[in-house]
Structure 1
Amino acid sequence: MTEAPVPADKTARVRELGELNALESLLAPDFQAIAVSAAHVCGTPIALVNLVAGDRQYVKGRTGTDLTGVNPPVSFCDHTVAGCRTLEIPDAHADPRFRDDPIVTGPPRVRSYTGVPMITQQGNALGTVCVMDHRPRRLDTAQHQALHTLATHAVTLIELHGRAHQAEEVVRRLHALERLKNQFLRNVNHELRTPLTTIRSYLELVLEGGLDETTERRFLQVIERNGDRMLHLVDMMLLMASLNAQTAAFSPARIDLSDLARRVVELSAPAAHLKGLSLNLHAPGPVEAQADADQLGTALLQVLDNSIKFTSRGGAIDVVVTADPAPEVEIHDTGIGVEHDDLRRVFEDFYRTPQAEEQAVQGTGIGLSIAEKIMEMHGGSARMESELHEGACVHLTLPGPGGARRGERPGDQPMRSGSVRGPRT
């Protein structure tokens, strides 16, 4: 038995099988009916509707056999798909390509085979509608025509089922988007209404007069902090909009990633101190990178802000800068962690985990989304590793190795959260 030729369209064929969701449900009634009809019209004991994907085959419909997932595959079908045309083998014993094939020398002892490829509108042969017999034979013209008609019907069904699945997926995503939008509006309403209410209440007290100078100054500071909080939220929403529209400012230059991380840790230190968190920086000597310092600093701040929110009092956050194999900042925390199914979704616009909703943690679900978009703008990546109740680690990786200079052996440079002065929180 010779090896089946590799079809030129293998990658496109496998991709289209995935897009059409063709391998998710096998032995479907419609395809069973096609196999039975093929066997009946051609007068053969065996018929298959067989999909060819990579090094494995998947039986969509069958009669006269119990095959489902075929591995090793039926070599006849491999040749049919590779040739992208009808293949008829009147006598497998006389054909050196197939005479030693296991299904020829052993059960079901196939002697003759005729297969027609199922060719999609994109020109990919997804598999075959084929018939097999235990004796040498050829199909007549009418039987050939019927087999072609059944193959056309089979591929049309696959495409229709695939398009229906795609439509269902679009509807599902639209519903999910609608839920996210409503959740975002609720969160923004809360994030804006709370500081507005505070500002209004304190302004009324100041305007009523009668306050001593110290109290009045303290009230004005509260008003200023809440105004800053609202301005920050608006700035972040505008930044996300510009990142989505790919209009955000981007001026990359040679920077020291360790120095940038240090400045971001200093800015985040007051917020960590208020929660009693240990915030530490672990960095080597200078780590050279090519980046927009302002945008990358914003990404780091968003991730640190997220870690501070989700780490309980007394916990720890460690910021680690590495240079090899590429410039990277890792933010480790001992927070509540994230479910495995949410690890990818935490970077979606407006998405908040069930834990965030249950614990009523403040936020709009845009921080990690902004961080990822900024990393992608740099040609880098953002990813999270986490286990529920075991903390999380976010990796912000820049392109390398050309963008960084290998630094010294990393050493610990602890920076306690109360040791520096940061912005108002």
Structure 2
Amino acid sequence: MTNAPGAADETERVRELDELNALESLLEPDFQAIAISAAHVCRAPIALVNLIAEKRQYVKGRAGIDLTGVNPPVPFCDRAISEREFLEVHDARADPRFRDHPIVTGPPRVRFYAGMPMITRQGNALGTVCVMGPEPDRLDEAQRQALNTLAAHAVTLIELHGRAHQAEEVVRRLHALERLKNQFLSSLNHELRTPLTSIRSYLELVQEGGLDEDTEHRFLRIIERNSDRMLHLINALLLMASLKAQTTTFTPDSVDLSDLARQAVERVASAAELKGLALNLHARDRVRVRADAEQLRNALLQVLDNAIKFTGSGGAVDVVVVAGPPPEVEIHDTGIGVESEDLRRVFEEFYRTQHAKEQAVGGTGIGLAIVEKIMEMHGGTARMEKETHDGVCVHLTLHPSSVLPAPGDPGPSGGS
């Protein structure tokens, strides 16, 4: 009955319609005015500014009968879009392409149609400015030219509206980024000032003298712990900067993922013990992958640090190494959890969940952003999902091709 646009053309048209936000708001006054002008100039009882996408029609402006609910959509517009040129049907009842279509055989019984495709600067025909009537008819040259001018005007409006929407979206994102940056600077100020103040206070007490040996050693351990905290933060900031600048060293080699997970667990064991958490490792004896051991260890430590930080006393953190393919490490915790709408955003730079803010959990919001960039460097992914109980699970998944053969691998085993 009609020739629909080819699959490639349809994909491009839909993509541009989406980019221009053209399908979000319909029956806008500017397009209503174009439809009314078309009906007046062409002396037609029906006029449309009509967009077509994925076998559906979207009416931006209309004059006369409401054809919004017509199903399937107006067939003439499909043809005009497909052929990308002016289409005039003098008598649809006598045209084998259209005579059996419901819009012709039933109400509103269209006999005459004239439509001009709206072609953008990218070369996509998004829809038509068209007129229709219940009696055979034809346009004169002046009317055709007027319809062409109105179609060009409609395209310009769609593109202007689309660019305005894109500009608004950019401004919105810039404002959101500015808020996140301010939050980050505030958090950074707190994260640096707190340990620095503690170090200074305890150093003054040690310098004043008069302390017994045990107290002095205890104060020095506190100073050391706060120094390590500051060093960890500074290293994280430097790593984030180098990852963004793509200057980070990346030297993949044969790595045992189970051993790497074991090293990371051992590094955070004392912090977990200090909070009264159960820290468990479940791993195969050997999972050989091609990866940068130092960077992957960094990613594991960032996630484990988060899991311990957000899990209350008496909770548990479980690290599971999955051989795959694809190989991955799962870090489960029984912490405060994350709302569904935050699950993807937690990997954004500087982003901190409302839970973290409300419970005054320390952090700058760059840890998981670092993790995601490290996993992308490996051709893998980082994602977070809610557990069925309280807490979350972070999946650090490597690319399936990273698996290396491990002769003599005895198979899975459990550990703790």
TM-score, normalised to structure 2's length? 0.95
Q: Which amino acid aligns with 2:345?
A: R
CA contact (8 A) 1:17 1:126 kept: yes
**Aligned partners of 2:171, 2:70: CA distance in 1, in Å?**
34
Q: Deviations over 1:373-416 (max 9, x none)?
A: 00111111111112798321211111114534597765532x2x
| CA pair 195-118 structure 1, distance change in 2 beyond 3 A | same
Matched position secondary structure for 1:61? strand
Give the aligned partner of residue 101 of structure 2. Answer: 101
In the TM superposition, residue 125 of structure 1 has moved relative to its aligned partner by: 1.1
Give the aligned partner of residue 292 of structure 1. Answer: 292
**Aligned partners of 2:78, 2:233: CA distance in 1, in Å?**
58
Equivalent residue pairs, number = 414
Give the aligned partner of residue 217 of structure 1. Answer: 217
Matched position secondary structure for 2:400? coil
**Aligned partners of 1:65, 1:410: CA distance in 2, in Å?**
70
| More moved, 21-30 vs 386-395 | 386-395
Q: Which amino acid aligns with 1:175?
A: H
Give the aligned partner of residue 31 of structure 2. Answer: 31
| CA pair 314-355 structure 1, distance change in 2 beyond 3 A | same
Name structure 1 gaps, 5 residues minimum.
416-425
CA contact (8 A) 1:59 1:70 kept: no
Matched, 1:323 2:323: yes
Give the aligned partner of residue 134 of structure 2. Answer: 134
Matched position secondary structure for 2:414? strand
**Aligned partners of 1:408, 1:154: CA distance in 2, in Å?**
69
Q: Which amino acid aligns with 1:319?
A: V
Matched position secondary structure for 1:9? helix
Q: Which amino acid aligns with 1:18?
A: D
| CA pair 71-200 structure 1, distance change in 2 beyond 3 A | farther
| CA pair 65-401 structure 1, distance change in 2 beyond 3 A | farther
Matched position secondary structure for 1:72? coil
CA contact (8 A) 1:265 1:281 kept: yes
**Aligned partners of 1:258, 1:385: CA distance in 2, in Å?**
22
| CA pair 240-42 structure 1, distance change in 2 beyond 3 A | same
| CA pair 404-63 structure 1, distance change in 2 beyond 3 A | farther
CA contact (8 A) 2:5 2:81 kept: no
| CA pair 201-71 structure 1, distance change in 2 beyond 3 A | farther
Q: Which amino acid aligns with 2:47?
A: A
**Aligned partners of 2:95, 2:358: CA distance in 1, in Å?**
68
**Aligned partners of 1:350, 1:67: CA distance in 2, in Å?**
49
Give the aligned partner of residue 346 of structure 1. Answer: 346
Give the aligned partner of residue 363 of structure 2. Answer: 363
Q: Deviations over 1:283-336 (max 9, x none)?
A: 234222111011011111111111111122222222222122311111122222
**Aligned partners of 2:413, 2:60: CA distance in 1, in Å?**
59
In the TM superposition, residue 228 of structure 1 has moved relative to its aligned partner by: 1.1
**Aligned partners of 2:7, 2:121: CA distance in 1, in Å?**
17
In the TM superposition, residue 3 of structure 1 has moved relative to its aligned partner by: 4.6
| CA pair 394-219 structure 1, distance change in 2 beyond 3 A | same
**Aligned partners of 1:51, 1:361: CA distance in 2, in Å?**
50
Q: Which amino acid aligns with 2:403?
A: G
Give the aligned partner of residue 257 of structure 1. Answer: 257
**Aligned partners of 1:398, 1:4: CA distance in 2, in Å?**
42
**Aligned partners of 2:306, 2:15: CA distance in 1, in Å?**
37
**Aligned partners of 1:364, 1:389: CA distance in 2, in Å?**
26
Alignment of 1:6-405 (within 5 A): 6=6, 8-68=8-68, 72-386=72-386, 390-401=390-401, 403-405=403-405
Q: Deviations over 1:221-260 (max 9, x none)?
A: 2111111111110010000000011111100112111221
CA contact (8 A) 2:325 2:403 kept: no
**Aligned partners of 2:224, 2:62: CA distance in 1, in Å?**
74
Give the aligned partner of residue 421 of structure 1. Answer: none
| More moved, 117-126 vs 404-413 | 404-413
Matched position secondary structure for 2:241? helix
Give the aligned partner of residue 412 of structure 1. Answer: 414
Matched position secondary structure for 2:311? coil
| CA pair 289-214 structure 1, distance change in 2 beyond 3 A | same
| CA pair 167-255 structure 1, distance change in 2 beyond 3 A | same
CA contact (8 A) 2:327 2:398 kept: yes
In the TM superposition, residue 360 of structure 1 has moved relative to its aligned partner by: 0.5
- Superposed CA RMSD in Å reads 1.9
**Aligned partners of 1:92, 1:291: CA distance in 2, in Å?**
66
| More moved, 130-139 vs 277-286 | 277-286
Matched position secondary structure for 2:97? coil
CA contact (8 A) 2:387 2:393 kept: no
**Aligned partners of 1:248, 1:213: CA distance in 2, in Å?**
44
Matched position secondary structure for 2:218? helix
Q: How many percent identity over aligned positions?
A: 73
CA contact (8 A) 1:86 1:115 kept: yes
Name structure 2 gaps, 5 residues minimum.
none
Q: Which amino acid aligns with 1:172?
A: R
Q: Deviations over 1:71-129 (max 9, x none)?
A: 53322111111211111111222222211112112222111211111111111111111
CA contact (8 A) 1:337 1:389 kept: no
**Aligned partners of 1:167, 1:5: CA distance in 2, in Å?**
30
Q: Which amino acid aligns with 1:82?
A: S
CA contact (8 A) 1:56 1:69 kept: no
CA contact (8 A) 1:340 1:387 kept: no
| CA pair 115-359 structure 1, distance change in 2 beyond 3 A | same
